[in-house]
Amino acid sequence: MTRRRGLHGSSSAAVVPPLENDDLLAQILARLPALPSSLLRASLVCKRWHGLVSSDPRFLREFRAHHRSAPLLGFFPRYLTRGRLEFHSMLDPPDQIPSSRFTVQAAMGSRLLRSHHGRILILNQSQKHFLVWDPVTAEQQQIAFPTAFGVYNRIEVIDGAVVCSSTEQGHVHGACHSDPFKLVLVAEDKQKHYACVYSSETGAWGNLFSMMRLPRIMMASATSPSAIFRNSICVLLVGEMFAILEFDWVRQNLALIDIPLDRGEASASVSGQCQFLIAPAGSGALSFILLEVSTVRVWKRVSNGDGTARWMLSNTIELSKLLSLGPTVSMVPLMLLGLDEGGNVMIKSTESEIVFLVNLESLKFKQLPQKLPYIFCHPFSSFYTPGMYLGAGGNDEVQTFHGA
């Protein structure tokens, strides 16, 4: 017999204490922090709470909808060590996740391309396959390169992403473990850029798209993270000229976008060890971010109303002042790590290894509790409650959170 009922019952019914009303209890528990230990602790209160937070799909949907985006749990390094990819938690106990819980073994020579929507995409160029890995459930799927690659010579994958394919109304990414996905890749050879999409629903690659490569654009930037923008993946290309390679997998369009810096300014920026970041803006526009030491400049790409677009400088931010880093630290270069799933820019102090999440529109920020030793890494965001999934960690998942 369920106690989940509307708040407006019959006038003759007995008054139900607040915590005995499952609807009201669900609303209260949905406001718990989206941290690994929150729902685990709630589930240990009693059997009724355990049933609600662990197995009621309606509650889990409400919990995710309330928080809107999955929390940042930590980071993975870009490169594997002896074929092993290990996790670095950015949370304090009891929410700190042991690195052994989120660890995977992959073929030698593999590297991590991206973490997105709770899945990890690992590339092995020499063996011509991808590994799609869900750290929470420990599920793995190996996907071979498109057969169309065999027609061309020396195609190199330069970037890619796994994106959730769910079309469910109100779906919140970050707990997409059973949902279908698309694997989007961007590649190149000496003459062309390529793009292609794999569907987990059909188990097949779609059409291979291509465009001629400009000779003065050399390669994808090794230090500037790519971005997922609406239904596009955007990659910064550098060389004598700079451009953004955009692949829109819905419109099936592969195109080049200019950057807001002219050739001389872009070259000077690179020689001065500046960093670039492509990011979606809150208004749905595309942003271009330039970080020089501790100063950030932000451009937005706005429509001219005639089908064309142009860049406009929207803000200049002194991060040393915003983050109260002090005069000494302000002379030490900061590092752009990329974006979290909520669209916040992740900035690391190279001196202290402290990471900040900064919203460049509201200028709100927070400091993560743990330091980060990696230079190049990928953030991992997901809704995760220990004990709800039987993965590589087995039953000792709950024991690692003994503080709950």
Domain positions in the chain: 1-68, 69-401
pLDDT above 70 coverage of the chain, percent: 84
Q: State pLDDT tens for residues 270-292.
A: 555 678 899 888 767 889 999 98
pLDDT tens for 366-383 read 999 999 988 788 999 999
* pLDDT for residue 388: 67
Q: What is the pLDDT of residue 320?
A: 85
Mean pLDDT over 163-168 rounds to: 80
pLDDT confidence tier of residue 392, bands split at 50, 70 and 90: very low
Instruction: Give me the mean pLDDT over the 98-115 stretch.
Output: 91
**CATH node for 69-401:** 2.120.10
- Over range 11-36, report the average pLDDT: 78
Which has the higher per-residue pLDDT, 398 or 208? 208
Question: In the predicted model, what is the mean pLDDT of residues 253-276?
Answer: 76
pLDDT of residue 403: 34
- Write the secondary structure of the chain as one string of H (helix), E (strand) and C (coil): CCCCCCCCCCCCCCCCCHHHCHHHHHHHHCCCCCCHHHHHHHHCCCHHHHHHHHHCHHHHHHHHHHHCCCCEEEEEECECECCEEECEECCCCCCCCCCCCCEEECCCCCEEEEEECCEEEEEECCCCEEEEEECCCCEEEEEECCHHHHHCCCCEEEEEEEEECCCCCCCCCCCCCCCCEEEEEEEECCCEEEEEEEECCCCEECCCEEEECCCCEEEECCCCCCEEECCEEEEEEEECCCEEEEEECCCCEEEEECCCCCHHHHHHHHHCCCEEEEEECCCCCEEEEEEECCEEEEEEEEECCCCCEEEEEEEEEEHHHHCCCHHHHCCCCEEEEEECCCCCEEEEECCCCCEEEECCCCCCEEECCCCCCCCCEEEEECCCCCCCCCCCCHHHHHHHHCCC
